Chains A and B, each alone.
Chain A
Amino acid sequence: AQSVTQLDSHVSVSEGTPVLLRCNYSSSYSPSLFWYVQHPNKGLQLLLKYTSAATLVKGINGFEAEFKKSETSFHLTKPSAHMSDAAEYFCVVSVGGNEKLTFGTGTRLTIIP
């Protein structure tokens, strides 16, 4: 079985400060891990994905995530938050060749002007 746990349901940061959204995963096999962002009334957009290549993954809009097997973590970071980053973020896992995605419960990111 596979699962992801997003440790914070809501994160607030000031504009221009770093962003850290935490995600831990559980899987019996080598996982593929994704971060998706959902803006209000919009579809989910892929920020980045890890598929067993480089452990530090760079995504769109300045986001990056590091796969740490020893900690079973895949935290999402950004050096400097922008107002447009305010959205819901989902950490997602799939295992092996299985196309099924398992979503975390989401983290709502609020940016304080």
Chain B
Amino acid sequence: GAVVSQHPSWVICKSGTSVKIECRSLDFQATTMFWYRQFPKQSLMLMATSNEGSKATYEQGVEKDKFLINHASLTLSTLTVTSAHPEDSSFYICSASRPAISGNEQFFGPGTRLTVL
């Protein structure tokens, strides 16, 4: 159990366009989902925390107008990179938690590799 999927697994887009990444909890309801960014050969950096039905909480230094997060249901959160630029190219990873069952353990998706040309 506790499977998290992401779609797409990789995407290439032109500079200035917007890209949407989906994160789904397949077999459980996730009250909280997290979005991370991972640069090559580096660690994961938390971008934002989203709770179903409320606005996301962004980490310091993350532009909320650029990285739009929507958590419309207990099984789906989306990250939209608006007006993408080459510096937004990265590996984006989502995770979900189910505190009532697993405490603060997070279940991670396989990631989405974004390349902006």
Nearest CB of chain A from residue B27's CB, rounded to whole Å? 15
Q: What residue of chain B has the Cβ atom nearest to residue A94's Cβ?
A: B104
Q: Whole-angstrom distance between the alpha carbons of A98 and B103 in the complex?
A: 10
Q: Whole-angstrom distance between the alpha carbons of A99 and B100 in the complex?
A: 12
Q: Of residues B34, B95, B105, which shows the largest number of chain A Cβ atoms within 10 Å of its Cβ?
A: B105
Contact A43 B110, beta carbon cutoff 8 Å:
yes
Contact A43 B46, beta carbon cutoff 8 Å:
no
Nearest CB of chain A from residue B98's CB, rounded to whole Å? 11
Main SS of chain B's interface residues? Answer: strand
Q: Whole-angstrom distance between the alpha carbons of A26 and B34 in the complex?
A: 22
A32 close to B (CB within 8 Å): yes
Contact B49 A105, beta carbon cutoff 8 Å:
no
* Tally of chain B residues near chain A (CB < 8 A): 23
Q: Which of A42, A45, A99 touches B99 (beta carbons < 8 Å)?
A: A99
* Tally of chain A residues near chain B (CB < 8 A): 22
A44 close to B (CB within 8 Å): yes
Interface string of B87-117 (1 = CB under 8 A from A): 0000001010101000111111111000000
Q: What residue of chain B has the Cβ atom nearest to residue A106's Cβ?
A: B43
Q: Whole-angstrom distance between the alpha carbons of A1 and B57 in the complex?
A: 18
Q: What residue of chain A has the Cβ atom nearest to residue B5's Cβ?
A: A43
Which residues on A are within 8 Å of B, measured CB to CB? 32, 34, 36, 41-46, 49, 51, 90, 94, 97-101, 103-106
Those 7 A-B pairs whose CB atoms lie nearest each other, nearest first: A43-B110, A44-B108, A103-B43, A43-B108, A103-B44, A105-B43, A94-B104
